């Protein structure tokens, strides 16, 4: 391959995706800092107040929950900033990240639905309903757990005195820009090398080998219909859309029923999510949080996600 072609390939697969990621992180960071500079945190937290009050979570967690409906990066940035300023504990940071499952689900719902619906038709509504149920189960479950683990936290934070400061747009933007410049350098220092390292892992086939290993060792799923195995294998070894395409073809020619398709997609979701989440989330999580903390957050998040989807899958298997 010529030099120009090699450069273009690296730019398309590494350069531009990395630049785009840093742009998204920068926008989220600016947005989160600007809201904080204006002291709007408590105002936007009102959306989640019934849940956060029940869960003894702080207004900052409620604001992050509200923000997660529009930007996951901004929501996580708010949590990271709050943790560094000791406005929330590490325990609440972990719980808050898990608590944001529901708004994060809604953030990606339009894209997911319009990919799924044309391929598996009416079964898409059931599949979306079940995955929504899993996201709702996670958020409600974390609310209940937080109620016992964070007893008294919300009360103490609510009683903190507001800091008197100039909240004009110009003054708020000045404080935002100062914080942004200090924080973005730290984010770049972690995100860029980790993203490049993961790109190298991807190029030498580390993730592909892991996914193929999982796809080739599916004998424990013999209770599923034979057609399901191809959907799950493609879901794990290739990508979500490949599994969906296979599901759509099998559904269209009558080889599999809607129920079998939905079960296959749910199992594929369970098996494929951990590796993909680590591959896609860790580079930018490590920029927003410290790498060790980012790894903990992803592990907790994926563990609760798997638990909720397994629960929903078993419910659908035995009761429908």
Q: What is the pLDDT of residues 12-71, one digit of tens each?
A: 888 888 888 888 878 877 877 787 777 666 667 677 888 899 999 999 999 899 888 888
Q: What share of the chain is helix, strand, coil (3-state, %, to 5)?
A: 85, 0, 15
Taking only Cα atoms into account, the Rg of the chain, rounded to an integer number of angstroms, comes to 22
Q: What is the pLDDT of residues 251-283, one digit of tens each?
A: 877 878 899 899 989 988 888 888 878 888 888
Q: Is 176 exposed, middle or buried (0-12, 13-18, 19+ CB in 10 A)?
A: buried
Q: Worst-scoring range by mean pLDDT, 66-70, 131-135, 163-167, 275-279? A: 163-167
Query: Sorting pLDDT into bands at 50, 70 and 90, what band is 183?
Result: confident
pLDDT, residue 231, reads 78
pLDDT of residue 307 exceeding 50 = yes
pLDDT, residue 194, reads 82
CB neighbourhood size of 129 (10 A) = 13
Check if the beta carbon of residue 263 is closer than 8 Å to that of residue 206.
Answer: no
pLDDT of residue 164 exceeding 60 = no
pLDDT of residue 118 exceeding 50 = yes
Percent of the chain whose predicted confidence (pLDDT) is above 90 = 25
Residue with tokens 């080739």: 216
pLDDT of residue 315 exceeding 60 = yes
Q: What is the pLDDT of residues 184-236, one digit of tens each?
A: 887 888 888 888 888 888 788 777 777 677 667 666 666 677 777 777 777 77
Regarding pTM above 0.75, the answer is yes
Residue of 269, 309, 317 lying closest to 116 (CA atoms): 269
Q: What is the mean pLDDT of the chain?
A: 82
pLDDT, residue 195, reads 83
**CA gap 148, 91 in Å, rounded:** 12
Residue with tokens 């973005």: 184
Query: 72: number of CA atoms within 13 Å, CB side?
Result: 16
């Amino acid at each position: 391959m010529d030099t120009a072609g090699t450069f273009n390939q690296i730019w398309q697969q590494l350069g531009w995706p990395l630049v785009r990621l840093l742009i998204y992180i920068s926008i989220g960071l600016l947005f989160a800092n600007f809201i904080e500079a204006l002291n709007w945190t408590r105002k936007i937290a009102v959306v989640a107040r019934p849940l956060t009050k029940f869960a003894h979570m702080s207004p900052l967690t409620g604001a992050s929950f509200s923000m997660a409906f529009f930007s996951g990066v901004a929501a996580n940035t708010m949590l990271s900033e709050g943790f560094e300023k000791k406005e929330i504990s590490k325990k609440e940071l972990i719980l808050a990240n898990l608590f944001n499952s529901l708004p994060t689900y809604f953030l990606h719902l339009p894209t997911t639905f319009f990919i799924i619906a044309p391929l598996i038709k009416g079964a898409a509504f059931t599949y979306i309903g079940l995955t929504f149920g899993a996201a709702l189960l996670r958020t409600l479950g974390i609310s209940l757990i937080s109620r016992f683990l964070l007893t008294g936290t919300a009360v103490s934070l609510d009683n903190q005195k507001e800091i008197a400061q100039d909240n004009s747009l110009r003054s708020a933007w000045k404080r935002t820009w100062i914080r942004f410049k200090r924080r973005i350098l730290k984010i770049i220092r972690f995100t860029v090398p980790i993203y490049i390292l993961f790109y190298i892992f991807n190029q030498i086939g580390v993730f592909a080998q892991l996914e193929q290993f999982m796809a080739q060792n599916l004998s424990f799923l013999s209770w599923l219909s034979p057609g399901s195995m191809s959907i799950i294998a493609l879901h794990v070894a290739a990508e979500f859309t490949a599994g969906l395409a296979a599901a759509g073809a099998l559904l269209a020619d009558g080889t599999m029923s809607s129920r079998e398709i939905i079960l296959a997609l749910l199992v594929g979701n369970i098996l494929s999510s951990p590796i993909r989440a680590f591959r896609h989330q860790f580079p930018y999580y490590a920029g927003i949080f410290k790498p060790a903390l980012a790894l903990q957050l992803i592990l907790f998040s994926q563990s609760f996600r798997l638990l909720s989807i397994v629960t929903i899958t078993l419910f659908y298997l035995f009761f429908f």
